[in-house]
Structure formats: C-alpha cells, structure tokens
C-alpha cells in the first residue's frame, strides 16, 4: 500500500521512443553488435528504442501495420524518431519471388503513404528517416538461395532502382534519408558489409549504426537523461529527488 501511495504522488515516467520499423534487417538489429542494439545503448535513460522489424515483409504489408503501431491517441507525442527501412523484399524479382515483390512505383507510393500517415498523427518530417536497402552481393545471395532449393531471386541493379526511389520519396516528403545502397558501394568491395549477400554482417551493422547515429545525434542530443544521477539523489529525502 505504501508503495502504491508513493507511486501515486509522482508523475508517470514516460520515456521518449525511437521506433525502428522495417524488415529482417531491422528485426535482426538487436542481435549482438547489431545496429539497433548500438542505438539502444547510446540512448539508454534518454529513449526507449523499439524494434518493430518484421522479417520478410514489404511496404505493401508495412503500410497496413503502421497505423496499428502508432496512433494519435496512443503516444505519437512521445515519438522522438522513426526509421522506415524497407526495400530488400520489395525489390525481389517478380518472376522468381512474386509473394514479396512490390512494383517500383507502388513501393515509392507506399513509402510516401507511410510518411504522410506519420505526419497526420503529428510526427514531423524532421523525426523521420528513410533507409534504402543495402546493395545485394549476388554470388553470396545465390548460394543462400541454392541452399534452400531456390534460384537467385534478386539482383543488385534492381535493388539500386528501389534505393533511388526511396531517396526521391525522402526528398519529396522533406525527410532525412540514409542511402545505404550508395554509401556501401563507395567501398569497392562491399561484400564485407553483408553476411549472406543480403543481410548485414558485423561490419555492416557497425556501418549502419555509425551512419544512423550521425543523423540521430543532432535530433536527440537535447533530450535529458531521465531521473537524476545516483550521487545527486537526496539520500535523506529521496522523494524530493525522485517524485
């Protein structure tokens, strides 16, 4: 009872949230040394970093889910940043992977629709970061496909078209963009960024973490650490510091 009474006297503590929305490259980002885990560590006591990566999904499905993750009545005001990271599945070749494939024009329209939805619940463009799919290392991904009894179902040139569309949508909508497809290929041999030709390796995760942090740091640097440092708590009267 005393605990309940004490809890009733203080304001509810609400951490701001950084929402990571994407496919498997986002879902896996909380694995050891993953780029999402890196962000969570950098933002501890400032933000909750929420992983909403859904392996295998494309933008056609994602745009249906987004309103179930964020609504104007369920804390959109607490969103500090959102990343939208799709395209690796949308860009699958239609004739070989029709279930995940989304036509290029529809992919762009879906991204724009998601940005417009976020704006409609008062998440401003400066809080949104679009991320392009990384480049595809075809020989490595072909091995992964063959191991499952499939043919190579993606190609890097096609992935690049989707990456360019993502960049265009960001420009049209006024959001930030992280163009992984271009940035990773500045290093001639980009294969070291990928574990299987499609998903990120440890080096790739470090690269994404550094690139994304350089964009998020300015947006989030003004956020305070929540709750006082332990040495600053009034030990004789902790309620004065903590409630």
- Which residues are 19's β-sheet partners? 50, 82
* CA pair distance 81, 220, nearest whole angstrom: 8
Query: What average pLDDT does the segment 195-220 reach?
Result: 94
- Does a structural domain hold residue 87? yes
- Does a structural domain hold residue 120? yes
Quote the pLDDT of residue 3: 46
Q: Model confidence over 70-109: pLDDT tens digits?
A: 987 766 778 999 999 999 999 999 999 999 999 999 999 9
What is the DSSP-derived secondary structure letter of residue 193? G
- Does a structural domain hold residue 3? no
Q: Helices in the chain by DSSP H: which ranges?
A: 2-9, 24-27, 35-42, 59-69, 104-120, 138-147, 156-173, 180-184, 202-220, 238-242
Structure tokens at 237: 């009267």
Burial of 146-176, coded b for 16+ CB within 10 Å and e otherwise, reads eeeeeebbbbbebbbebbbbbbebbeebebb
Q: How many domains does the chain have?
A: 1
What's the CATH code of the domain at 43?
3.40.50.1110
**Alpha-carbon torsion 186, 192, 198, 204, what sign?**
negative
Confidence of residue 115 (pLDDT cuts 50, 70, 90): very high
Tell me what the pLDDT averaged over the chain comes to.
92
- Does a structural domain hold residue 208? yes
Structure tokens at 118: 């976020």
Domain of residue 194: give its range.
Answer: 17-221
Contacts of 213 (CB under 8 A, 6+ apart): 38, 39, 42
Q: How many CA atoms lie within 13 A of 179 on its CB side?
A: 17
Quote the pLDDT of residue 4: 43
Active-site positions read 24, 196, 199
Q: Model confidence over 17-35: pLDDT tens digits?
A: 999 999 999 999 999 999 9
Q: How far is CA 77 from CA 48, 127, 212, 214, in A?
A: 14, 11, 22, 23
- Does a structural domain hold residue 27? yes
Burial of 103 (0-12, 13-18, 19+ CB in 10 A): exposed
- Does a structural domain hold residue 29? yes
- Which residues are 51's β-sheet partners? 20
Quote the pLDDT of residue 2: 42
Query: What average pLDDT does the segment 211-220 reach?
Result: 92
- Does a structural domain hold residue 8? no
pTM: 0.92
- Does a structural domain hold residue 241? no
């Amino acid at each position: 009872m005393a605990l309940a009474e004490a809890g009733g006297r203080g304001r509810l503590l609400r951490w701001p949230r950084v929402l990571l929305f994407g496919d498997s490259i986002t879902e896996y980002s909380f694995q050891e040394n993953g780029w999402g885990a890196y962000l969570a560590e950098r933002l501890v006591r400032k933000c909750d970093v929420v992983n909403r990566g859904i392996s295998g999904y494309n933008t056609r499905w994602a745009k249906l889910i987004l309103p179930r993750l964020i609504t104007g009545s369920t804390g959109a005001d607490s969103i500090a940043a959102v990343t939208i990271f799709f395209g690796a599945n949308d860009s699958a070749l239609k004739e070989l992977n029709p279930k995940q494939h989304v036509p290029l024009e529809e992919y762009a329209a879906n991204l724009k629709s998601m940005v417009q939805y976020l704006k409609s619940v008062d998440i401003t463009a400066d809080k949104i970061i679009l991320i392009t799919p990384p480049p595809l290392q075809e020989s490595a991904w072909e091995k992964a496909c063959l191991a499952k009894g499939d043919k190579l179902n993606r190609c890097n040139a096609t992935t690049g078209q989707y990456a360019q569309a993502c960049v265009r949508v960001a420009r049209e909508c006024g959001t930030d963009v992280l163009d992984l497809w271009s940035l990773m290929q500045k290093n001639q041999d980009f294969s070291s960024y990928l574990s299987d030709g499609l998903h990120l390796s440890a080096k790739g995760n470090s690269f994404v973490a550094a690139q994304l942090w350089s964009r998020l740091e300015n947006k989030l640097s003004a956020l305070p650490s929540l709750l006082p440092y332990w040495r600053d708590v009034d030990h004789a009267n902790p309620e004065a510091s903590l409630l």
